[in-house]
Homo-oligomer: A and B are copies of this chain.
Amino acid sequence: MDKVIDFINVNRDRYIDEMKRYLAIPSISALPEHKGDVRKCAEWTRNEMQRIGLQNCRLEETPGHPVVYGEWLGAAGAPTILFYGHYDVQPVDPLHLWTSPPFEATIRDGEIYARGSADDKGQVFMHFKAVEAHLTQHGRLPVNMKFLIEGEEEVGSANLDNYIKGHKHLLTADVVVISDSPMFDRGIPSICYGLRGLTYFQIDMRGSKSDLHSGSFGGAVANPAMVLAQVLAQMKDKSGRIKIDGFYDDVVDLRPEERAEWEKLPFNEKKYKAELGAPKLFGETGYTTLERVWARPTFEVNGLLSGFTGEGAKTVLPAVAMAKVSMRLVPNQNPQKIGDLFEEYVKKVTPKTVELHITRMHGGKPWMTAFDNPYVQAAGRAIELGFGQRPVFNREGGSIPVVSTFQEELGVPCVLFGVGLPDENAHAPDEKLDLGNFHNGVIAAAYLYKEIGELKIGG
């Protein structure tokens, strides 16, 4: 590996120049006027993959923006990594809040500012450079690799599921690697091995055919806004525990090793509370804040609407009331099953004084690769070699739907190998990537291929 690492160190400045060109392409997938730029970026990606020595590099058409595919499969007997990333970026509004133009990458204080720097072109490019270093120095990779770089991640990956389902053989692998997430904190590299799932609903209640005068009719009929409040209040007890019957049946308990690992993390509750501007932190009794966010399910009200909401006072008895609600799920909760339990419970606690309508919006399964999984541990060693310190093994509270798709369709573990930072402004003005982390990330990725290459197939 010495030659590979030396090469990476020597070429540090060239990488940045090349990355700037990648970041200059405004591949905003959400905006039709940038359709040509998105395609140009797909082509740039393919050309770069070809240039560094990957094989069979090509654009694969979809009903939307194309997927870019490339591979290197010369490591007979070694495992195969499927690397997933995306070359499309978020819109840049509001433009006036950017310190430098979003598509003219600019370095300030060791960070490169540009749309796509962290999310996700910079992190994709990091792997290109690690591949390039291996192939330049040894003419081969220590592992088999397939690259799948999509162009619709920022618009919901509308065509990716179908693409994966239709190309299972092409995408066969032993592990999926994704670099599209931040590390735990600046100076604290991390490997994320679990994500929460989701199930999302709209509840509509109707108490009368039209809004009523609260003087003339108040007292005679149920107020749907009040009934909605009463129903929502019955979703949780005072300790923050969700009261839906059977809700916790499939929840995998936190393992003592995980709790011990997280306990050691430099997490400052006071600072966290101050950053959120919360009067007080609150969550399920018996768990720490990180445990609550990473490993415990939630019930949230995402929206409420009923009656008069303008300035001033209107004495209306609303005809209807609406809530958007969602539950974050943890392994092994199934969104379909939890959704059924939710609907059953809401029907049980809603009185007959209102008409109830429940709409199931969307959902996603929770995901977890055991943190002692060999691929996860290999990624940990690679991070330690790249960053000079052992990474923390964490989970995240959010969902990355594609991770579940890979798990379900390809049946392989997934490693989230992200080098962004929590303050990277991924979907905001002044998106940035720390160049030190980028450089360490290239080295870590180079080690990742070696570490995984030395594992037996299947881990």
* Contact surface of A with B, Cβ cutoff 8 Å: 196, 198, 200, 202, 206-210, 212-223, 225-226, 228-230, 232-236, 272, 276-284, 289, 292-293, 296, 298-309, 312-318, 321-324, 326, 328, 351-355, 361-362, 396-399
**Which residues of chain B come closer than 8 Å to A323, judged between CB atoms?**
225
What's the least CB distance linking A311 to chain B, in Å?
Answer: 10
A18 to B19, CA, bound (A): 87
What's the least CB distance linking A340 to chain B, in Å?
Answer: 18
Given A214-B328, A282-B221, A399-B215, are A304 and B228 neighbors across the interface (CB < 8 Å)? yes
Q: Name the CB-closest residue of B to A296.
A: B219
- The winner among A210, A215, A355 for most chain B CB atoms within 10 A is A215
Copies of this chain, complex-wide, total 2
State which of B233, B279, B302 has its C-beta within 8 Å of the C-beta of A308: B302
State which of B220, B230, B351, B362 has its C-beta within 8 Å of the C-beta of A292: B220
Contact A309 B301 (CB under 8 A): no
A292 to B212, CA, bound (A): 15
State which of B235, B324, B361 has its C-beta within 8 Å of the C-beta of A309: B324
What's the least CB distance linking A313 to chain B, in Å?
Answer: 4
Contact A315 B326 (CB under 8 A): yes
**Which residues of chain B come closer than 8 Å to A354, judged between CB atoms?**
279
A202 to B398, CA, bound (A): 33
What's the least CB distance linking A201 to chain B, in Å?
Answer: 9
Instruction: Show 20 A/B contacts (Cβ-Cβ < 8 Å), sorted by A.
Output: A198-B315, A207-B278, A208-B276, A210-B277, A215-B398, A217-B397, A218-B300, A219-B292, A220-B272, A220-B283, A222-B278, A225-B304, A226-B233, A228-B304, A229-B301, A233-B233, A278-B353, A282-B351, A313-B361, A313-B362
